């Protein structure tokens, strides 16, 4: 190696790749989770096992938490603050929002901790680090499934009939939510490896998210209060507001009782915000791209920062 170039490129050139050379840690980047499905599945299984070790209720906890949350909110807001007045399906309204925001919170929180939480793996063995936030997201989806079943049963009890609009709205809502939150999660996972303050900050955002999106109250109430101002637009363009409203379109907006209430007050369940789904898609894709870029740039330093 007498004439090694002064500053060789880190990745092998095309000619060198043709000879079978590759750099250690050279991988498919954000496509890794699709390439390494077997490893991803094992990581998800590991997470689920570890999460419920020594727990008697196990997976049942993913029913208990949203159930308690629902009951408390329903009592405090629906009954005491009388938000269910004029909306006999307020329970469905509330629960569909809770489910969406809980999924956001879990994906965001888990993904943020995914690199630091797997420190022994990250700092000792090479494996595509992109798999960690993805595994966290899949674990969150596993917990989301039973909640979705409860939501469906509840909606059916209130006369819900699935149609094209409902399925489309649900699909869009889920798509925006997952892509957007993974983007944020990869960003915070990378930052959290350097500064553990990030996970506390994320907890704060998750706590605030329930209140800053129309989970408990209706969008028309926000419009009455701050309509037309900059803050109103900021509120509306929050991807979570759009996702929650898409969930409402999917499960609540076309219920018989909601349609009836609409006749008395057309603004009651106006679909203005969920019509902004394309904004949600754009923001989600942009966030995902930004998160991926930051993650890919910082993943080289994970092992030494942990």
Partner 1 sequence: MPLLPDGPAPVAPAADARPMIRIEQVSKRFSLRHTRALKEMVFAALQRKKLSDSFLALDGVDLTIRAGETVGLIGFNGSGKSTLLKTVSGVLFPDRGRVLLRGRVAGLIEVGAGFHPDLSGRENVYLNGAILGMTHEQIDERFREIVDFSEIEEFIDTDVKYYSSGMFLRLAFAVAVHTEPDIFLVDEILSVGDEPFQKKCLARIRELQAKGRTMVVVSHELEMLQKLCTRIVVLRKGTVIFDGDPVEAVATLRAS
Q: Which residue's CB is nearer to partner 1, number 237 or number 306?
A: 306
Return the HEC string of 186-215: HHHHHHHHHCCHHHHHHHHHHHHHCCCCCC
Q: Which residue's CB is nearer to partner 1, number 189 or number 246?
A: 189
According to CB under 8 A, which one of 14, 18, 24, 228 is a site residue for partner 1? 24
Diameter of the chain by CA atoms? 85
Q: How far is CA 47 from CA 91, 117, 133, 298, in A?
A: 32, 10, 11, 24
CA of residue 261 relative to chain centroid, distance: 31
According to CB under 8 A, which one of 39, 205, 262, 270 is a site residue for partner 1? 39
According to CB under 8 A, which one of 121, 155, 184, 243 is a site residue for partner 1? 121
Alpha-carbon dihedral of residues 135, 136, 138, 139, nearest 10 degrees? Answer: 120
Residues 176-215, interacting with partner 1 (CB under 8 A): 195-196
Check residue 14 for interaction with partner 1 (CB under 8 A).
no
CB of 49 to partner 1, least distance (A): 6
According to CB under 8 A, which one of 14, 15, 49, 164 is a site residue for partner 1? 49
DSSP state of 154: H
CB of 8 to partner 1, least distance (A): 5
Check residue 126 for interaction with partner 1 (CB under 8 A).
yes
Check residue 304 for interaction with partner 1 (CB under 8 A).
yes
Within 8 A by CB and 6+ apart from 12, the residues are: 21, 22, 23
Segment lying near partner 1 (by CB under 8 A), choices 165-173, 215-223, 286-294, 295-303: 295-303
Q: Is 7 left (phi over 0), alpha (psi -120 to 50) or beta?
A: beta
CB of 13 to partner 1, least distance (A): 10
Taking each helix axis as running N to C, give the angle between helix 61-73 and helix 90-117, from 0 to 180 degrees, rounded to the nearest 10. 130
Q: Which residue's CB is nearer to partner 1, number 43 or number 155?
A: 43
**CA neighbours closer than 13 Å in the CB half-sphere of residue 115:** 31
Instruction: Please work out, in degrees rounded to the nearest 5, the angle formed at the alpha carbon of residue 233 by the alpha carbons of 227 and 235.
Output: 95
Check residue 278 for interaction with partner 1 (CB under 8 A).
no
CB of 36 to partner 1, least distance (A): 8
Please identify which residue in the block is written with the tokens 């609009």. 165
CB of 135 to partner 1, least distance (A): 12
According to CB under 8 A, which one of 28, 34, 50, 64 is a site residue for partner 1? 50
Check residue 18 for interaction with partner 1 (CB under 8 A).
no
Within 8 A by CB and 6+ apart from 80, the residues are: none
Segment lying near partner 1 (by CB under 8 A), choices 125-133, 268-276, 280-288, 290-298: 125-133
Residues 63-102, interacting with partner 1 (CB under 8 A): none
Total of residues contacting partner 1 (CB under 8 A)? 40
Within 8 A by CB and 6+ apart from 179, the residues are: 284, 285, 287, 288
Check residue 45 for interaction with partner 1 (CB under 8 A).
yes
222-230 long-range contacts, Cβ below 8 Å, gap at least 24?
223/267
According to CB under 8 A, which one of 18, 20, 164, 228 is a site residue for partner 1? 20
Tell me which residues touch partner 1 (CB under 8 A). 1, 4, 6-12, 16, 19-26, 38-39, 42-43, 45-46, 49-50, 53, 120-121, 123-127, 195-196, 300-301, 303-304
């Amino acid at each position: 190696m007498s004439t090694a170039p002064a500053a060789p490129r880190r990745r092998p050139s095309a000619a060198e790749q043709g000879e079978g050379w590759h750099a250690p840690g050279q991988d498919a980047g954000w496509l890794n989770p699709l390439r390494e499905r077997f490893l991803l599945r094992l990581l998800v299984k590991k997470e689920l096992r570890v999460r419920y070790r020594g727990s008697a209720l196990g997976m049942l906890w993913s029913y208990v938490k949203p159930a308690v949350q629902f009951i408390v909110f329903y009592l405090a807001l629906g009954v005491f603050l009388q938000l269910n007045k004029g909306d006999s399906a307020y329970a469905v309204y509330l629960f569909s929002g809770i489910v969406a925001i809980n999924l956001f919170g879990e994906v965001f929180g888990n993904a943020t901790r995914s690199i630091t939480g797997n420190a022994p793996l990250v700092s000792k063995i090479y494996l595509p680090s992109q798999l960690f936030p993805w595994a966290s997201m899949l674990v969150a989806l596993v917990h989301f499934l039973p909640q979705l079943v409860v939501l469906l049963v509840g909606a059916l009890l209130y006369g819900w009939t699935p149609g094209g609009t409902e399925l489309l709205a649900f699909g869009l809502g889920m798509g925006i939510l997952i892509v957007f939150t993974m983007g944020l999660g990869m960003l915070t996972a990378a930052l959290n490896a350097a500064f553990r303050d990030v996970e506390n900050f994320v907890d704060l955002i998750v706590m605030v998210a329930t209140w800053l999106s129309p989970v408990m109250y209706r969008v028309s109430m926000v419009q009455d209060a701050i309509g037309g101002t900059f803050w109103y637009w900021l509120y509306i363009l929050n991807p979570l507001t759009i996702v929650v409203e898409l969930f409402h379109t999917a499960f609540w907006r076309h219920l018989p009782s909601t349609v009836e209430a609409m006749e008395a007050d057309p603004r009651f369940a106006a679909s203005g915000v969920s019509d902004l789904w394309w904004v949600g898609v754009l923001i989600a894709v942009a966030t995902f791209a930004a998160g991926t870029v930051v993650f890919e740039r910082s993943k080289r330093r994970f092992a030494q920062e942990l």
